[in-house]
Structure 1
């Protein structure tokens, strides 16, 4: 029997968000909605004063590529055993996640860095989510190991 609702996971490309993505994919019977929210680098206010549609389109393409890279890093591609919907949203991450996981039957999954000084998304999601929130901690690695893992690809871990 399939579970009700969907699993919405915030993806940024950080180790914590990759751990959240892998955890969210294990929710059997639910649609996995992977969300990467982005804003123009200069912020929405400055962009509104001097709009540049080509620049915004480029930022959107880069965000979509970052979401694709996250799936490549976490699984070596899109997992076949789960239905995946990829969403690239132009919005603040906390708002976008709460808007997409708006039903009580949904599950919202976010990653949490161990020593995050500014946990803005986590605080906003905790305060405004209308569904259960699962916070997945980032794996604990030494700084040198984190750098090496950042450069690794899924092929580096393949048996052979």
Structure 2
């Protein structure tokens, strides 16, 4: 059976990506696999010591709980009207999504994310990684214009810049 694999992070864009993925699953009569990738605290080297076994278990539990919250926020009690599977994968987001959507008839749905210059420097784009490495079709869902406005407000608050009231009038 074909699959629609949707990558979520729990960020503001996740509901839009999930909604688009669910719509694609209904149209294609496919299973909907929702994937949330996670990494060990302190990276892979930090997880190799014996004292971090409980930290790994706590991290895994927190990610599973966060995935449940994201699915509840997106679909509520009714569900997506398609066969749904939630999956948490330990690894970098791009590699986890590409490994999960490895069949040629799969569809991988990811969000474009916020790509400020600083974030591009610190964290590579998951969407670009998926586009470059996936063996299946990749659908990148753009961010909402409201998300860009929210980022601008967050930056202004972070840098304690004054509010220009002319921005509030249409």
Q: TM-score, normalised by structure 2?
A: 0.76
| Correspondence for 2:135 among 130, 146, 154 | 130
The answer for the alignment partner of 2:144 in structure 1 is 139
2:102 alignment partner in structure 1 = 102
User: Which structure 2 residues correspond to residues 64-75 of structure 1 after superposition, within 5 A?
Assistant: 64-75=64-75
**Where does residue 55 of structure 1 map in the other structure?**
55
Match for residue 125 of structure 2?
120
Aligned CA-pair RMSD: 2.2
How far apart, in 1, do the equivalents of 2:5 and 2:53 lie? Answer: 28
Please report how far the alpha carbon of residue 98 of structure 1 lies from its aligned counterpart in structure 2 after TM superposition.
0.5
Which ranges of 4 or more aligned residues in structure 1 deviate by more than 3 Å?
Answer: 114-117
**1:6 alignment counterpart:** 3
Find the residue that maps to 2:139 and give its secondary structure.
strand
Query: What is the Cα deviation at residue 76 of structure 1?
Result: 2.0
Distance 1:59 1:21, change over 3 A: same
Q: Relative to structure 2, which stretch is displaced further, 111-120 or 127-136?
A: 111-120
Deviation at residue 120 of structure 1 after TM alignment = 2.5
Distance 1:78 1:128, change over 3 A: farther
Which has the larger Rg?
2
Q: What residue in structure 1 maps to residue 35 of structure 2? A: 35
Q: Which residue in 1 is equivalent to 2:93?
A: 93
- Scaled by the length of structure 1, the TM-score of the pair is 0.80
Structure 1 position 17, deviation (Å): 2.4
Q: Residues 17 and 57 from structure 1, CA distance in 2 versus in 1: closer, same or farther, beyond 3 angstroms?
A: same
Once residues 26 and 143 of structure 1 are traced to their aligned partners in structure 2, the CA distance between those partners, rounded to angstroms, is 26
How many residues are treated as equivalent by the alignment?
144
Task: Check whether the contact 2:110–2:140 (CA below 8 A) recurs between aligned residues.
Answer: yes
Deviations 1:17-56 (A, max 9, x none): 2211110001211100000110112111122245522110
